[in-house]
Structure 1
């Protein structure tokens, strides 16, 4: 099996047709193909530039987000600190008010105890006075049961009155 060689006339025609096809491709297709390749290359370069710009923009946004987050944390800390101070102030005021109320209650209780003590002492004095009068009345009745004793006592009282 050997390789068959084409006819030399056919080779010439193939070269001529190849040259015509090459000329036609160069005249009509080569420039549009090159232009399309250049456009494709330009669009890829533009896409890469856009991607680089987007990357830079994302980095900038990320930095802005970190600043915003840091600021939010500072604000949160400030709000928590203020809330704690307000809570402490309210608790201190409540304790002070409770202490004042307790002192007021104690003072009122002392006043009430003093008033009740005075009333009790006055009641006891009154009862002692009544008892004393009753005892004196009974003693005097017993001693004055006799007429001579009554006259003697009246004379003694008159003498005491004259002396005063």
Structure 2
């Protein structure tokens, strides 16, 4: 055989094989590579989106936490104000009750004092009447009258 014919046959077989490979084998391989490249690109895009979502979620969580702290602080301030107001009202009510009790006690003491004075006046009046009655029953005698008045003085 001739070297040129072998070389020519090998070239023909090589080009036929290259053509068959390019026509039937190469497109599925390229399609698979393109699909894989697309999946990788989609995965990277999803990872970037997830990272951006994470940053956004962290920012949102930080904002919510800040708002919650502010709300809690507002609630605490409101509760403190309400507590102070309730304490002031309770103190005022206690002061009113104490004043009313003091006034009632003073009124009762004044009434008791007045009753005691009235009872004492009544007792003095009874003694005076009794003394006058004793004087009028006895005969009129200056010495006896003076003795009776002295006795009345000692009784009063």
Q: TM-score range with shorter-chain normalisation?
A: 0.7 to 0.9
Structure 1 unaligned blocks of 5 or more: 1-12, 150-164
Whether 1:32 aligns to 2:28 is yes
Runs of 4+, deviation exceeding 2 Å? 13-26
Deviations 1:37-76 (A, max 9, x none): 0121122112101210121012112101110110111011
Structure 2 unaligned blocks of 5 or more: 1-8, 142-156
Whether 1:56 aligns to 2:52 is yes
Whether 1:132 aligns to 2:133 is no
RMSD: 2.3
Paired residue secondary structure (1:143): coil
CA–CA separation in structure 2 for the residues paired with 1:74 and 1:143:
103
Q: CA deviation at 1:16?
A: 8.1
CA–CA separation in structure 2 for the residues paired with 1:18 and 1:135:
167
Whether 1:84 aligns to 2:80 is yes
Counterpart selection for 1:104 from 94, 100, 104: 100
CA–CA separation in structure 2 for the residues paired with 1:63 and 1:76:
20
CA–CA separation in structure 2 for the residues paired with 1:137 and 1:15:
174
CA–CA separation in structure 2 for the residues paired with 1:18 and 1:132:
163
Q: CA deviation at 1:31?
A: 1.7
Size of the aligned set, in residue pairs, is 133
Q: Which of these two proteins has the greater Rg computed from alpha carbons?
A: 1
Give TM-score, length-normalised by structure 1: 0.72
Deviations 1:92-138 (A, max 9, x none): 11111111110111011101110111111011101111111112211
Whether 1:45 aligns to 2:41 is yes
Q: CA deviation at 1:143?
A: 2.6
Whether 1:113 aligns to 2:109 is yes
Give TM-score, length-normalised by structure 2: 0.76
Structure possessing the higher relative contact order (Cα contacts under 8 Å, 6 or more residues apart): 2
CA–CA separation in structure 1 for the residues paired with 2:65 and 2:126:
89
